[in-house]
Every structure is written in C-alpha cells, then in structure tokens.
Structure 1
C-alpha cells in the first residue's frame, strides 16, 4: 500500500488556495469521511484495527485473531466509520461508537467498569443521569501505520503527540491534526444518525489536549489511568461541545459539522449544567 501522504503535493495538485483558518478545505482536498455500512468496509476497519491494536501497539493478543481482523463483542452494537485517502482510495483511520444494546447484558460500555467510577462526582452523576440509549462510547480510534510513520507519530494509536506537525504547501509547518478532526466529524455523523446526545471516551491525554486547542472540549475529564495505555476518561453532551467549538473555532466547527449539515440533538436533561472540569 502506497498512500503517499504528501499534503504539500496534494494541496498544490488540487489548486486550492487555503487561508490560514481553512481547516475544512485542506482536509477535504486530501481525505473524505465515510460511514461503514457494507461488509467490505467493516472488514477494512477490522484489518486496520488489527494492525494498530495487535501488531503496532499490542494491546490485544494477535493470536486471538487468526483472520487478522481485530473485533470484539461490542462491534455488533457499534457504528463504524473510516477516514479515506482520496488519491489512493485507502482507509487511513477508523473509529467506532459503541451504543447500548437491547438487553441488560448489553447496557454497559467498554470503559465503564474501569474508568467512570474514577471520575469526580459531577461526572458520575451526569453519566448516570442520561438515558443509556442516548449515550455512546467513542472507541477504537486508530490511524494506519503508514500515516503515523509519515508524520513521525508511530508511537500513538491515534496518530497524535504533543508535537504533531503537519504541512501544506502555502503555509509551511502547521499543527493541524486533520485526521483526528476528520474522525470527530465521523463520530458526529454516526451520532446524529443514531440519535446520540452524549459521548463518553477513554482518550490519550495528548489527543484531548490537541482537541481542546482546536476548540473541541469535553465537559468532564478524569485523571490519567492505565487503560490500554495512558488514558483519561471523559464525558460530555454532544450539543454543548459542538456549540462551544462553533464559538471558539468556527473553522473546526465547519469541518466537523460539514457546515452545519450534521448537528446533534439537544439533551432533555439539565445534568450537564454543572461546573465544567476540562482537560
């Protein structure tokens, strides 16, 4: 697979003159967001996850997946998405949202037992106060090895470190994490489709800091834990996060919502009015 992640070349090739704040145009000139609905797309995601979670960063035992496709019991009640590289057609990143199932045994989320109880009381109350069918866990965020190596981010499953540096032909080196913002656009699209109003996640601290720099802030963020690597549990109302991003970074809001086409439903509870605790 030769993905050739050269934003300098591809942005020039598409002849798009980018402004400093034109995050969406830069992303869309090179990548696309794709909700995975076919067996072929799901298999592509499982193969990418196997490479990231079993080989590159072996949080899972590769011997458990003879077909070289990493999957688990949560996948049947999840929605899946890819970020695809336009020029090559390759899927370069993937993410899922895990939703509550139809039985009591499927009510719990993957991170819940290990992480939620270690958050502060406000966060625990907010989590407990929302209907389960309106919550989704952001999970299995993975960026392909080729992409991470291209940008010297091969030590992180999400492809983000505190010193991530990306370039485009007009402005030179810039800290623009296109892939992670594209994955968040995918998360929002899946959430709107499935009427999700709240997100929970256990995320790499560097990824949370990067998202905050670009105006994407979780309402509640807990302490650093050892959970598939160093992670911080987080919980937020999707609508409040997106509204905050619109105020802080309209350009990022435009990318994530596709210029307002994908907007999350408002929560019917007031649990999230408590004082925020952000990273």
Structure 2
C-alpha cells in the first residue's frame, strides 16, 4: 500500500516548523521562482497567513528524507486567501462562517520527482536532506529551478460552470487513462497521502469545508484520484491561471472511496493519516 511509504506530520514544534518553511523556500523560491529568495534571508519562506495556519511536512519512511509540505489556513474574520485573490461565488461564501479552511502552499520537491523517476531512492541520493540527527535543519544541494508540475495552456475554451471540476477537466481527461485501480503515478501517490492528511485533520476538528486554488494540472490530478469538487468562483491570474474549488469533505471522501479502489484502501485501511510532531514518541530526541 503506497500510503505506508510516507509519513505526514503536523509541524507544531519549532524544529518541524522550520523544516516546513525551508521546504517552501526550496520549492517556491529556488525551484519555481514564485517568491524572491532575497526576501527570506533565513532560508524560510513565509507570509502573514502562517500565523493562522496549520503546517504539515511529509517524509519518506525508507530514507527519512523530507519530500513536501502544505498548510491549512484558517479563516480570519471570515476571510481566507482565496477571497483576496479571486471573486468567490456568493453562494459559496457561507461555508466560511460554518467552518472552512483553505489548503495551500502544496509543495513536492523536484529532487523527489527526479529520484522517483530514475529509481534512485537511497538516503544519499543527490538533492537535499536532513542536517544532523535532530531533523531541525535542511541542507540545500543541486538547487535547480523548474516547474513542479507540467504546465498546460491557461485557457483552452473549456466550459467553467457550476457543474464543478468535471466540467473543467473532463475534456482533457477523456484522452487519458482514468482507471484509479492502476498503480498511481509517483506524484499522485504522494499528493494523495498529503490530501488525505489535510482532509482527515479537518474532519477530526469538525471542519466540514475546504477551499483550493489550483492550476489545471493539479485539478486533473485530484480528479484522477476520484475526488469531485465544485467550482467556487471565477478563474484568476495568480502565478498562472488558477481555479477556485470548494469541497464538502465528507461528501468528497465518500465519492472518492466509491470511485477509486486506491482511495478506498488509503482512507479505510491506510493507517494513521497524520501525527503531531509534539505527540509523545519512543524517540524523544526526534524533533528537539
């Protein structure tokens, strides 16, 4: 089961929170160039939303290497980042007051993608890794820019309407293999584990809704996993064309389980979806 390959951790200690922001710096500043690295002299990318967000990091169990990060932003006076960036449909504004978060800063390092593609998954593979045994620092090596996901045209005339994600990505996916019973592509595997952790963390805290602001490539990946979300507003220009989506989490999970044997195994038999870095462990020196 691919879920056993990875461990998702809520970064609620100083050491793990540093790792979270360092991963973001690697991806958003050094690999993708979305943010100016000169603005973060400490090598940790951040913004003002972080003060009201839950941070996550994910690592590969076999090698112990950190592979990615993400965060859940909690609303501030009924507002989420998506409301600042684009116009959300009036009918979709009410979930915020009823409990909604926004999943953002979803990062998977280019080094992981390269190592998975070449089959080189040893702990001393080129790229970056943990500095020291306490996991509180990251060594940057072979820093290369490049898109994390293959880009697609900004808008090819597909219909964006209230039918949601299917209306947006359906014509594109018709040309692809949609069977979720097959082995998931490497990035989809890791993303599925991360998405599950964010969803289950939210459901554990009785948060029923989640917003996303994603590009077309990531939307297609979500659709291939079996999730169906509703288009929640108009597309916007934000580091390329982005589309806002809204998910009712219980419904999204139920439909994914029904649509995909992989998602059924992950959600029903995948073990703990996440753990708190601050939670007691046998190795008390793990995080410092």
TM over 0.5: yes
CA RMSD of superposed structures (Å): 2.8
Give SS of 1:196's match: coil
Give SS of 2:93's match: helix
Give how far 1:128 is off: 1.6
Q: For the structure 1 residues 93 and 133, does the alpha-carbon distance in structure 2 shift closer, same or farther, using more than 3 Å as the test?
A: farther
Structure 2 match to 1:175? 185
Give SS of 1:116's match: coil
Counterparts of 2:259 and 2:183 in 1: how far apart (Å)? Answer: 22
Report the count of equivalent residues: 218
**Cα deviation code 1:118-154 (max 9, x no counterpart):** xxxxxx24422224361100100001121133356x7
Give how far 1:49 is off: 0.1
Which gives a bigger RCO, structure 1 or 2 (Cα 8 Å, sep 6+)?
2
Give how far 1:199 is off: 0.7
Structure 1 match to 2:135? none
Deviates more, 1:211-220 or 1:89-98: 211-220
Structure 2 match to 1:150? 115
1:113 to 61, 71, 84: 84
2:266 to 255, 263, 269: 255
Contact 1:79 1:190 in 2 (8 A): no
1:204-243 to 2 correspondences below 5 Å: 204-220=215-231, 222=233, 224-243=235-254
The gaps in structure 1 that reach 5 residues or longer are 1-24, 118-123, 163-171, 263-279
TM-score (norm 1): 0.69
Contact 2:23 2:69 in 1 (8 A): yes
Structure 2 match to 1:3? none
Contact 1:214 1:249 in 2 (8 A): yes
**Cα deviation code 1:165-201 (max 9, x no counterpart):** xxxxxxx986351111011012113212432110111
1:73-88 to 2 correspondences below 5 Å: 73-88=48-63
Structure 1 match to 2:95? 130
Are 1:27 and 2:3 an aligned pair?
Answer: yes
TM-score (norm 2): 0.67
Structure 2 match to 1:8? none
Q: For the structure 1 residues 243 and 70, does the alpha-carbon distance in structure 2 shift closer, same or farther, using more than 3 Å as the test?
A: same
Are 1:37 and 2:12 an aligned pair?
Answer: yes
Give SS of 1:74's match: helix
Contact 1:202 1:233 in 2 (8 A): yes
Give SS of 1:142's match: strand
Contact 1:99 1:133 in 2 (8 A): no
Contact 2:103 2:211 in 1 (8 A): yes
**Cα deviation code 1:4-43 (max 9, x no counterpart):** xxxxxxxxxxxxxxxxxxxxx1231x21222222111111
Q: For the structure 1 residues 250 and 125, does the alpha-carbon distance in structure 2 shift closer, same or farther, using more than 3 Å as the test?
A: farther
Contact 1:188 1:257 in 2 (8 A): no
Give SS of 2:244's match: strand
Contact 2:75 2:96 in 1 (8 A): no
Q: For the structure 1 residues 79 and 194, does the alpha-carbon distance in structure 2 shift closer, same or farther, using more than 3 Å as the test?
A: farther
